[in-house]
Chains A and B, each alone.
Chain A
Amino acid sequence: MNVSNAPTLPDVAWRQKHLLDVDVLSLAEIQLVMRTTDAMKEVLARPISKVPALRGTNVTILFYEASTRTRVSFEVAAKNLSADVVNIAASSSSVTKGESLVDTIRTVEALGADMIVMRHGTSGAPYLAAEVFAGSILNGGDGWHAHPSQALLDLYTMRAHLGDVRGKKVVILGDVLHSRVARSNVWSLTAAGADLWICGPTTILRGFDAWARRWAGGGAPGHAGFTVTSDVDAALRDADVVMALRLQRERMDAGLLPSLREYAARFGLTRERLAIAKPTALVMHPGPMNEGVEIAPDVAVLDRSVITEQVTNGVAVRMALLYLLAGGHPEAVTNA
């Protein structure tokens, strides 16, 4: 052993085997993800943006729901780390023949998967997968529940522009009830100390509020502000960040909204409405956008709109997550 050439281990232990949601991450772990993402951004800027860190690791991407950016983002991230990537779309697999989730996970494991990136329409499905899979599960979105990599890339993008988000006013505007993005963002943003405002129609907030009270203690105890309101003007006033959420039309059967036009008129992010926020306020959207509904087309392309930057940062954040989760062999030692 040669101390000076031995790897520097983090001061904070990365304790996670899986990434199912951000609620279990400590602030120190979130900061480690952010620092590792910085290094991945540097890799992405290289002439050859590929490093051999995950050579020989099989990353299987198992998506039960439609997705472009998250699936491709994870695939690009895994390939940039030299992992072997297997893509399974549930619509063209044995799932259509009635194979259960547990059987599918066991099959994928038998085929050599070391890590599974998984998206599923049912909240909690990745937790079940994690119980049977020997490797690591990364939740790429489950039902209304969680989308941890999105929340971390959102936080990374905010930090890139604002520095520390502590005390900064961040507004999440729109259909928070059906949004796994909103739920995961509640954990990471309150942990990072942001002044978080959740805003949407009362019919939608009713359900979300119940979740927040039950799970986030009604106001993320011990953290900065956490406000739930249907008053758009109050929410946007002097905001540092405004994140519009996609109106999930496919999940709106319950008649929570009278019409898209009314929603756009009352809650759509327009230039006029954005003028209430700080002049420098960042405009964010996790995508895909319904332009003209939750966000006006001219707002989406403003200079301070960082929507495409969110996509780019998504690759770096997912590289960081894959890298961190690939570690963790407690019995092993270094030979450096």
Chain B
Amino acid sequence: MDGRQIMTADEIRRAIIRISHELVEKQAGTEGLVLVGIQRRGVPLAHRIAVAVHEHEGVTLPVGALDITFYRDDLSLIAQQPVVKGTQLPVDLNGRTVVLVDDVLYTGRTIRAAMDALVDFGRPRAIRLAVLVDRGHRELPIRADHVGKNVPTSSDEVVAVTLVEIDGEDAVRIERVDAPARTA
């Protein structure tokens, strides 16, 4: 795959470990925490954060998966209906602190949809956001609480995150917009 690599597998691993420490520090513990990954690449990232928290705290946090397809604000603009990959939330969200996990924070629209989806499942005590890459260009008043790497980009670039669980390798690259778009 071409494009400029901005994070290596090691850098991704360290970013996950740092985020796992920040989460616990900010919460002053792990009580009531639940990690919810946004389909698709947020899900393996949420699991990795849970593993990292387990390593230094000895606590196993519940991990869920959230599909935001039905909550997208661009459904009527998309040429074909996206595939729905499914939502699994292992615990009741009422009174919990939910940490949403996603790979890239960009316009903020995905996170807006995710928050709408979450509140249909209950009333969390708080919702936080952890992302591997924040590339800027927000279109909504949304910010991340935990960021693996801040990457200045221009809007004609694409941030492509690949993860071992889905793509067979860990890397973050910046590609030009005319590079062939990945649809998996």
Which residues of B does A touch, CB under 8 Å?
40-41, 67, 69-72, 74-88, 102-104, 106-107, 109-110, 116-117, 120-122, 135, 158-161, 175, 177, 181-184
A7-B69, A332-B79 known; 18 new pairs, CB 8 Å cut-off, are A4-B104, A4-B159, A5-B106, A8-B82, A8-B183, A9-B82, A39-B85, A42-B87, A47-B121, A51-B70, A51-B71, A53-B71, A53-B75, A328-B79, A332-B76, A332-B78, A333-B77, A335-B74
Q: Which residue of A lies closest to B119 (CB)?
A: A48
The answer to whether A3 and B78 touch (CB under 8 A), given A39-B67, A47-B121, is: no
Report Cα–Cα, A299/B75, bound state, in Å: 45
B77 lies within 8 A of A8 (CB): no
Of A59-67, A89-97, A150-158, A319-327, the segment with at least 4 beta carbons within 8 Å of chain B is A319-327
The verdict on A6 contacting chain B, using a C-beta distance below 8 Å, is yes
The verdict on A222 contacting chain B, using a C-beta distance below 8 Å, is no
Report Cα–Cα, A329/B121, bound state, in Å: 31
The verdict on A111 contacting chain B, using a C-beta distance below 8 Å, is no
Report Cα–Cα, A13/B158, bound state, in Å: 25
Residues 10-33 of A contacting B (Cβ, < 8 Å): 10, 13-14, 32
24 contacts between A and B (CB under 8 A): A1-B158, A2-B104, A4-B159, A4-B161, A5-B110, A7-B72, A8-B183, A8-B184, A9-B80, A10-B82, A13-B80, A42-B87, A42-B88, A47-B122, A51-B117, A56-B76, A328-B80, A329-B76, A329-B78, A332-B78, A333-B77, A334-B79, A335-B109, A336-B109
The verdict on A52 contacting chain B, using a C-beta distance below 8 Å, is yes
B120 lies within 8 A of A14 (CB): no
The answer to whether A2 and B72 touch (CB under 8 A), given A10-B83, A52-B116, A327-B78, is: no
B160 lies within 8 A of A3 (CB): yes
Report Cα–Cα, A42/B110, bound state, in Å: 20
B103 lies within 8 A of A35 (CB): no
B84 lies within 8 A of A1 (CB): no
Contacts of A36 in B (CB 8 A): 83-84
Contacts of B184 in A (CB 8 A): 8
A1 lies within 8 A of B104 (CB): no
B81 lies within 8 A of A38 (CB): no
A9 partner, pick from B74, B83, B107, B161, beta carbons under 8 A? B83
The verdict on A98 contacting chain B, using a C-beta distance below 8 Å, is no
B135 lies within 8 A of A2 (CB): yes
B77 lies within 8 A of A52 (CB): no
Q: How far is the CB of B9 from chain A (nearest CB, A)?
A: 17
Contacts of B87 in A (CB 8 A): 39, 42
Contacts of A163 in B (CB 8 A): none
Which residues of A does B touch, CB under 8 Å?
1-10, 13-14, 32, 35-36, 38-39, 42-43, 46-48, 50-53, 56, 81, 323-324, 326-336
Contacts of B102 in A (CB 8 A): 5
A330 lies within 8 A of B160 (CB): no
Report Cα–Cα, A42/B89, bound state, in Å: 11
Q: How far is the CB of B166 from chain A (nearest CB, A)?
A: 10
Contacts of A48 in B (CB 8 A): 120-121
Contacts of A38 in B (CB 8 A): 86
Q: How far is the CB of A12 from chain B (nearest CB, A)?
A: 10
A4 lies within 8 A of B71 (CB): no
B86 lies within 8 A of A42 (CB): yes
Report Cα–Cα, A9/B103, bound state, in Å: 18
Report Cα–Cα, A38/B85, bound state, in Å: 9
Q: How far is the CB of A120 from chain B (nearest CB, A)?
A: 27
The answer to whether A4 and B183 touch (CB under 8 A), given A39-B84, A42-B87, A327-B80, is: no
Contacts of A328 in B (CB 8 A): 79-81
Contacts of A10 in B (CB 8 A): 80-83
Q: How far is the CB of A173 from chain B (nearest CB, A)?
A: 35
Contacts of A3 in B (CB 8 A): 158-160, 175, 181-182
Report Cα–Cα, A1/B161, bound state, in Å: 13
B77 partner, pick from A14, A43, A50, A335, beta carbons under 8 A? A335
A2 lies within 8 A of B158 (CB): yes
